Amino acid sequence: MSPKSPKHTETRLVHAGRRSSQYHGVVNPPVFHASTILFDSLAELEKAGASKPGKVTYGRHGTPTRFLLEEAVADLEGGYGTLCVSSGAAAITNAILAYVKPGDHILVTDSTYFPTRNLCNTFLKKFGIETEYYDPTIGGDIAGLIRDNTALVWCESPGSLTFEMQDIPAISNAAHARGVKVLLDNTWASPILCRPFELGVDVSVQAGTKYIVGHSDVMLGSITTKTEEDLLTVKKQILIAGDAVGPDDCYLAQRGMRTLAVRLKQHHESGLKVANWLLTRPEVKRVLHPALPDDPGHAIWKRDFSGASGLFSFVMEPVEKPQLANMLDNMELFGMGFSWGGFESLILPSDPTKIRTATKWDENGILIRLHIGLEDPDDLIADLDAGFERLKTA
């Protein structure tokens, strides 16, 4: 859809990236399986360039199944264009690699998703790129950390596990004043709860695996840019990396995405209900959820986001390992596992203490991350309540 038709998000979700009239009236974009694409003539073959948007030249460069998904994500996030890759982690790696060279310095939020950190501390380090972690709540003071060789600022808001909100407009203003690009992991918000380019971001990354797909059955990543120039910069990197997401996965992502708005409304509402219940519990020290009025990031969340997803954490009062195991091993509805964003609820213990370097995480209680799925929240509360009871019997 063209940006000239400023329809509501719910409407755009239903219609973005669909060309039914081109495909015999079929509602959903068809799945084109391809490696080789045949050309009718030498002239056509010679015209084929992988960098021409929408041009079908070779399976790895994409088929209409992927292009239509990319069109939809770009429309929803409000960017110039999108490139889809085979996982969220691949999106992060390719987005960062597109902008760095040996000798560069990059600024990365201390609250970032762990695999991003792993990329910086191993691969980037090996190639002479220095990563400096910064306090996620730094805001405009990021200006003091920018050097002449700073290539990019990496943001993630709210942060993985600990959910600090970042002042993205303040960070973007400071970075742009020095000609530095701002890249954001926007996965928590999905493509619809935060408009990253209106906040000043240059490149927005999504782990489509989470809410875009929404059904816990596909790995997918997206990189959306504000400008055509940035899209081409990222595209060159992806071509070098040889990443190619399969058409079946793109199809499932398209299908999952159509219900994103209604799913997120429920994730938001049920998540807050569970979060508010946790606030009343003696087993709980703190709830980390930016949509709660007392959360330190609440004002920024309210200013920059149009809703909350279903992912947040809480800090438990100190418990012994056997107690924790007795609670977690016997949950009836909450599954234990990595990832999130599907229709089902998940519970995951973690400890950010050893991960942080720029800031200190000194809550001496286990951090529990919850993904509140589409079950009735009262049943989820009952499941957590029974779990807290089991702490006493271990």
- Hey, which residues are catalytic here? 60, 113, 185, 210
Q: Does 196 bind ligand PLP (CB under 6 A)?
A: no
Distance CA 338, CA 321 (A): 20
> Do 37 and 56 meet the contact criterion of CB atoms below 8 Å apart?
yes
Distance CA 124, CA 128 (A): 6
Q: Name the residue whose CB lies closest to ligand PLP.
A: 88
> Do 332 and 380 meet the contact criterion of CB atoms below 8 Å apart?
no
Q: Does 189 bind ligand PLP (CB under 6 A)?
A: no
CB proximity list for 128: less than 8 A, separation 6 or greater: 102, 103
Q: Does 88 bind ligand PLP (CB under 6 A)?
A: yes
Neighbouring-strand partners of residue 348:
369
Between 221 and 256, CB nearer to ligand PLP: 221
Between 258 and 371, CB nearer to ligand PLP: 371
Output the smallest distance, CB 55 to ligand PLP, in A: 27
Of 31-39, 206-214, 258-266, 361-369: span binding ligand PLP (CB under 6 A): 206-214
Of 1-9, 87-95, 132-140, 242-250: span binding ligand PLP (CB under 6 A): 87-95
Residue 270: exposure state from Cβ atoms within 10 A (0-12, 13-18, ≥19) = buried
The structure tokens listed for 17 are 């990236």
Of 41-49, 84-92, 96-104, 350-358: span binding ligand PLP (CB under 6 A): 84-92
Between 175 and 348, CB nearer to ligand PLP: 348
Task: Determine the residue type at 345.
Answer: S
Distance CA 257, CA 211 (A): 8
Output the smallest distance, CB 270 to ligand PLP, in A: 19
CA-based nearest residue to 74, from 238, 306, 231? 231
Between 282 and 338, CB nearer to ligand PLP: 338
Cα–Cα–Cα angle for 293, 299, 304, rounded to 5 degrees: 125
Q: What is the CA radius of gyration of the chain?
A: 22
Of 70-78, 205-213, 255-263, 344-352: span binding ligand PLP (CB under 6 A): 205-213
Output the smallest distance, CB 341 to ligand PLP, in A: 8
Output the smallest distance, CB 348 to ligand PLP, in A: 11
Per CB under 6 A, contacts with ligand PLP among 90-129 are: 92, 113
Tell me if the bond preceding 282 is cis, omega within 30° of 0: no
Per CB under 6 A, contacts with ligand PLP among 236-275 are: none
| CA distance readout (Å), 328 to 284, 324, 369, 394 | 15, 6, 12, 12
Among 104, 164, 167, 185, binds ligand PLP (CB under 6 A): 185
Q: Does 160 bind ligand PLP (CB under 6 A)?
A: yes
> Do 190 and 264 meet the contact criterion of CB atoms below 8 Å apart?
yes
Distance CA 231, CA 289 (A): 33
| CA distance readout (Å), 239 to 34, 148, 179, 234 | 17, 29, 26, 9
Q: Does 219 bind ligand PLP (CB under 6 A)?
A: yes
> Do 317 and 365 meet the contact criterion of CB atoms below 8 Å apart?
yes
Q: Does 350 bind ligand PLP (CB under 6 A)?
A: no
Output the smallest distance, CB 10 to ligand PLP, in A: 24
Task: Determine the residue type at 104.
Answer: D
Among 187, 216, 309, 345, binds ligand PLP (CB under 6 A): 187
Output the smallest distance, CB 87 to ligand PLP, in A: 4
Site string for ligand PLP, 311-340 (x = CB under 6 A): ----------------------------x-
Q: Which residues are at the interface with ligand PLP (CB under 6 A)?
A: 87-89, 92, 113, 160, 185, 187, 207, 209-210, 219, 221, 339
